[in-house]
A and B are shown apart, each in its own frame.
Chain A
Amino acid sequence: AQTVTQSQPEMSVQEAETVTLSCTYDTSESDYYLFWYKQPPSRQMILVIRQEAYKQQNATENRFSVNFQKAAKSFSLKISDSQLGDAAMYFCAHGGSQGNLIFGKGTKLSVKP
């Protein structure tokens, strides 16, 4: 069974600085995707970025990028130039052959002005 672990329950970053959120996973599948979702106080789940497991190039979406280490089963999210609106819960998720997502417990990110 797939598992996703986020070891940082809470993180804090100064506005305009960079922060990295950690995620490790375990899977027996060879073809899968990894995702980072953001959940602001509104509770809406918003897709931030996704990574295809067979692609070596790390995904990037504007200020968000990932460091995908397939052999180590590690998938960290880097947020550059942090903004107040980035404050939220961030969930790492594994998407496999079944189609459903397996989520980590989440990391609560605070952004200090």
Chain B
Amino acid sequence: DSGVTQTPKHLITATGQRVTLRCSPRSGDLSVYWYQQSLDQGLQFLIQYYNGEERAKGNILERFSAQQFPDLHSELNLSSLELGDSALYFCASSRVGSDPYNEQFFGPGTRLTVL
């Protein structure tokens, strides 16, 4: 158990819908990262928050957004869902924000299926 929690574990929805994925980082970790793992794209970095502020952006679609709340939990919002958004979404947390020595602890992931 990494100490990072993600809810829900599984999510099944229809095209065009909007969903919210939730992540609680390990106690004391200020940074949260979101990654998408799909069959065709592999593991891709989406976005990072550090202590409530956006720190870095990766291959995140405009239909996707995220935020980190004062209690440091984070939510990833996916809207106008398409079939290709079906993937495993990971949240990871780390103690600091911009440091190459950045051991990230991964949550169990949320499996999103868009029908």
Q: Mark A residues whose CB is within 8 Å of B.
A: 29, 31-33, 42-47, 50, 52-53, 91, 95-106
User: What total of chain B residues lie within 8 Å of the partner, measured CB to CB?
Assistant: 29
Interchain Cβ contacts within 8 Å, total number = 68
Q: Are B103's CB and A99's CB within 8 A?
A: no
Q: Are A99's CB and B42's CB within 8 A?
A: no
Q: Look across to chain A and name the residue whose beta carbon is closest to the beta carbon of B98.
A: A99
A9 to B108, CA, bound (A): 23
Q: Are B45's CB and A29's CB within 8 A?
A: no
B86 within 8 A of A: no
Contact among A42, A53, A97, A103 for B43, CB-based, below 8 A: A103
Contacts of B42 in A (CB 8 A): 103-106
Take A99-B98, A100-B58 as given contacts and tell me if A50 and B48 are in contact as well, using a CB distance cutoff of 8 Å.
Answer: no
Q: Are B43's CB and A98's CB within 8 A?
A: no
A5 to B28, CA, bound (A): 33
Between-chain CB contacts (< 8 Å), 11 pairs = A44-B106, A45-B90, A45-B92, A45-B106, A47-B104, A50-B103, A53-B100, A96-B100, A99-B96, A102-B45, A105-B42
Smallest CB–CB gap between A90 and chain B, Å?
Answer: 12
Smallest CB–CB gap between A99 and chain B, Å?
Answer: 5
Contacts of A100 in B (CB 8 A): 33, 45, 48, 56, 58
Q: Look across to chain B and name the residue whose beta carbon is closest to the beta carbon of A50.
A: B103
Smallest CB–CB gap between A6 and chain B, Å?
Answer: 10
